[in-house]
Amino acid sequence: MQKLKNSQLNRIGTEVFKAADKLPVVIVLDNVRSALNVGSVFRTADAFLVKKIYLCGITAAPPHKDILKTALGATSTVAWEYAESTSGLLGELKKEGYRIFAVEQAVESISLVQFNPFNSGDSPVAIVFGHEIDGVSDKALDLCHGCIEVPQYGTKHSLNIAVCAGIVIWDIFMKYKSKSIASEPG
């Protein structure tokens, strides 16, 4: 077995990425305290063509050195915006027709296995990830249409936000791709 060289990976360039059709999903980071986690979310958002990232509250914004360290250039490809208030942003996204889901352990949360935001129309989707210890704020939860929970079977009760975001974004991307393939003619 031989590893592929970067030149063999057929990756698109920055301008092609910016012009490409994006996943109809935005990521909202609600007071995420680790800039390293923020950079990792940028990198995952780049990998799966996420439309935009919103950085809220205490969440660090580029060009923070720790974001740049883990993002590996994704801050120049993925659209992003800072919003001081997560709840204010979510209110605006609701007005724009977004269906909003927090990734949180909550009463009546939906297992990621059953969650498919593309089964009920073409509304864009916002996924909210919260603070590493406190989770998604209560004010933000009150504005969500529901909560998604990543099933876990070990002794720990949570995942690192960057790992969790990777799992959730990949799962949503795969469900979107399946929908797109299923809706193609012939």
Would you say residue 34 lies in a domain?
A: yes
Would you say residue 143 lies in a domain?
A: yes
Residue 30 domain boundaries: 20-180
By C-alpha distance, which of 104, 129, 124, 117 is closest to 54?
Answer: 129
Would you say residue 4 lies in a domain?
A: no
Give pLDDT tens digits for 138-171.
999 999 999 999 999 999 989 999 999 999 999 9
CATH number, domain containing residue 83: 3.40.1280.10
- Rounded to an integer, the average pLDDT of 12-17 is 92
Q: Phi then psi for 64, rounded to 5 degrees?
A: -50, 135
Q: State the sign of the Cα–Cα–Cα–Cα dihedral 116, 93, 63, 79.
A: positive
pTM: 0.94
In one letter, which amino acid is 136? V
> In total, how many domains does the chain have?
1
Would you say residue 1 lies in a domain?
A: no
Give pLDDT tens digits for 98-137.
999 999 999 999 999 999 999 877 889 999 999 999 999 9
Give pLDDT tens digits for 75-101.
999 999 999 999 999 999 999 999 999
Would you say residue 48 lies in a domain?
A: yes
